[in-house]
Amino acid sequence: MHLQTMSFVTGAAKNLAKAGARPISTSVARHAIHNNITETIGRTPVVKINRLAPAGIDLYAKLEYFNPLSSVKDRLAIAIIEHGERTGKIKPGSTIIEATSGNTGIALAMVCAQRGYKFVATMAASFSIERRKVMRALGASVIITPAPLGGTGMVKKAEELAEKHGWHLARQFETEANADYHAQTTGPEILSDFAGKRLDYWVTGYGTGGTFAGAGRVIKQARPDTQIVLSEPKAAPLLTSGIPQPRKEVLGQFGAPESGHPSWTPHPIQGWTPNFIPYVLEQGLEKKLHAEVLTVDGNEAMSTALALAKHEGIFTGTSGGATMATALEVCKKAPQGSTVLCMIPDTADRYLSTPLFGAIDVEMDEAEVAICNSTPLGAAE
């Protein structure tokens, strides 16, 4: 391992220990015994892309759906709860509330269930029903807000309910705990996995921007030659528009969106790019961590997600397909011999009722019927 990389991994482990969290492991413990489900968060695998990658490029994916509730947001949830506990803002009997497109809410519902807290999610009606059911199965209450109000609508509802009932507002889009946890875990994991190896490009999308701002700053400090590529939907080019995000103070903390961003329009990449620029993301942008921002089409994101499933056995949602589609664009212009790593945020199970699976039939097609009829036992009526 490079000395500089080693120092960053060791330093992050010390920071986690001071914070009372479990230390970073440089290897994945496949058969470890854990005290509770939250101890299984992190240390997700990096997998090589073999059939979709262009010749002469080493393309890899970090599969965040190996977290216990199948998304990168498990890291955010434990970060929020542990930070609240350390600062005394979350205590026995507390109720936590947050606006979510689904994955953060599912992750917070898991952590709250394990810790014995109540959790309330506010979620726009446009997000998949699977996410509502999973959160409710984990004991959460889910408050649905009008779809036309988008991300700012569900955020405002969470703010109102927190103030009305005295609940702890998680603030995933503003809290410093978000990026800090990725700087202490996700970034060092990547540096450890690629120690002694090339890492020319790191590609990620953004929801809150925590992965980019946290892991990005650690990667950039340890390996300044690594180019960080950020991606957003073509239908919602908030960053590439160059238009700043209006902000306000809520419950004594600055950074919440004052209004929706004018460059946002509805897009199918759930979990990516709410209708405002998150404050956590903006702080990462101010550090100039990224080399460029690329946009990706929603249909291309979905087709790439299905290609990953069919040709690589990687079962990811539309956001994972979007990140991989961006990474494949990076591969096209990368010099021969380059190494590209992209983030895969979640599993495709969260998208079964969305357009991602619109062309996947439940009934047998003609080829399947022919196979069935090739032996005496016929098809089911």
* pLDDT at res. 378: 72
Q: Which residue has the higher pLDDT, 18 or 350?
A: 350
Under the banding of pLDDT at 50, 70 and 90, the label for residue 312 is very high
Which amino acid would we find at residue 261? H
The CATH fold of domain 73-169: Rossmann fold (3.40.50)
Which amino acid would we find at residue 307? A
Q: Where are the beta strands (DSSP E) in 326-365?
A: 339-344
Under the banding of pLDDT at 50, 70 and 90, the label for residue 284 is very high
Query: Is it true that 3-71+176-357 and 73-169 share their CATH fold?
Result: yes
**pLDDT > 90 in the chain, percent:** 86
Q: Taking 80 as the threshold, does the pLDDT of residue 9 lie above it?
A: no
Instruction: Compute φ and ψ for 221, nearest 5 degrees.
Output: -70, -40
Q: Taking 50 as the threshold, does the pLDDT of residue 101 lie above it?
A: yes
* pLDDT at res. 28: 43
pTM (global) more than 0.75: yes
Domain boundaries defined on the chain: 3-71+176-357, 73-169
Question: Which residues are catalytically annotated?
Answer: 73, 319
* pLDDT at res. 252: 83
Under the banding of pLDDT at 50, 70 and 90, the label for residue 298 is very high
365, burial (CB in 10 Å: exposed 0-12, middle 13-18, buried 19+): exposed
pLDDT tens sequence across 102-160: 899 999 999 999 999 999 999 999 888 999 999 999 999 999 999 999 889 999 999 99
Q: Taking 90 as the threshold, does the pLDDT of residue 273 lie above it?
A: yes
| pLDDT (mean) for 349-360 | 93
CA distances from 175 to 83, 151, 202, 321, 343 (A): 10, 17, 24, 27, 22
β-sheet bridge partners, residue 61 = 47, 342
The CATH fold of domain 3-71+176-357: Rossmann fold (3.40.50)
- In the numeric block, the tokens 């004052």 are attached to 258
CA distances from 27 to 91, 199, 241 (A): 33, 19, 41
